Structure 1
């Protein structure tokens, strides 16, 4: 049991260091030696646990960009509060400087790795939605909105009144009608929100 706990601690330390380094320098410039040094372990352990730098990146994406399940739940709820619930969930990441930095690191790494875009898409689209064109369109638009918010907050492009407070409540309030419109879209409208 103690050995398993030790493995878990090392694995988490590697993932944390990788996420931080990808955020700082991007995928291409992040080295396994640098990640291992920051995690305080032998570089061989990265190959042991993750197979390769690409394998490590894939796991970091899955841990950092994780809205697929939440998006699916919001779609399944089919109630007026679903959009606000989804946005409040997203706001926990928007309000966390560490998580925001890691999300930006993943986005910065996408151009460096041919399969990174695919990995990002997989983490954004719930399994049951893949192949349903109308649902994929509306989820792509919601995901794009979320990525835009992270980027705009990082670059201080949003009005100060929207970013005041750690809970992003003003931002959530402003975006709720938009996300609600996308969640309300139906296949009959070709994925176009009924309210737009």
Structure 2
């Protein structure tokens, strides 16, 4: 077999449970493992839809429609974070990172600080291998927050994220993720909605 034949020869696909070939740091490893999950044909629904078929196989697809690769049965799944301890340092560090130079006496966290105390809910969704979002083609399309009260140093905040919708529009999959944050007395602190856009490769 010459070099050209070897180059054309298809590579064997890793089977279920195969370890990724990379060896990076822990967080990158988790994301890479999750991306690897996207291309493994372990789920019949995912395998068929990733090839443009409908949920019941070839011939079931709607003309002109893009198959929803993420299984809609996961709508309603929720993720809860451990209590997050808000400190003056964490607020100051975040303000410095986003260029917020306020230095008033009553330190209140900026609205987008909600991403700090709620981040683990996002991370749980992105790395959930059953839901298996295609994070390799995911972009953050929209984010909204509303607050029931200011966030200050000393607060302990717990966030619950919930996958509320999976839809298609054109060549995109739209995933809606809603968040609710409460303090240690279970009093509401903030609500949020994130829209993720997954573009078909």
Give me the TM-score of the superposition, normalised by structure 1.
0.21
Flag the structure with larger Rg. 2
The structure whose residues are more often strand, as a share, is 2
Report the TM-score when normalising by structure 2. 0.21
